[in-house]
Amino acid sequence: MKIGIVGAMDEELAPIRALSTHLERIEKGAREYWHGDMHGHQVYLTRCDPGKVNSVIAAQQLIDLFTPDCLFNMGSSGALSPELEVGDLVVATEAIQHDFDLTGWGMKPGEMLFDVKTASESGQLTFTSRQVFPTDSRLTKLAYEAAQASELDTIAGHVPKVHQGRLVSGDQFISSREKAGQLWETHQALCVDMEAAAIAHVCFINKVPFLCVRAMSDKADHTANISFTDFLRAATHNYGRIFDKLIKQV
| Distance between CA atoms of residues 118 and 126, nearest Å | 6
- Tell me, yes or no, if 94 is annotated catalytic: no
Give the ranges where the chain is alpha helix by DSSP (H).
10-19, 52-66, 137-149, 177-187, 196-206, 228-249
- Distance, CA of 44 to CA of 59 (rounded, Å): 11
**Do residues 98 and 186 make contact, with C-beta atoms less than 8 angstroms apart?**
yes
Are the C-beta atoms of residues 235 and 132 closer than 8 Å to each other? no
Task: Indicate which residue of 49, 218, 221, 230 is catalytic.
Answer: 218
Nearest CA to 89 among 29, 167, 3? 167
Active site residue 12: yes
Helix (H, G, I), strand (E, B), or coil: what is residue 87?
A: coil
Q: Among residues 11, 12, 171, 195, which one is catalytic?
A: 12
Whole-angstrom Cα Rg for the chain: 18
How far apart CA 14 and CA 182 sit, in angstroms, is: 34
Q: Which residues are catalytic?
A: 12, 218
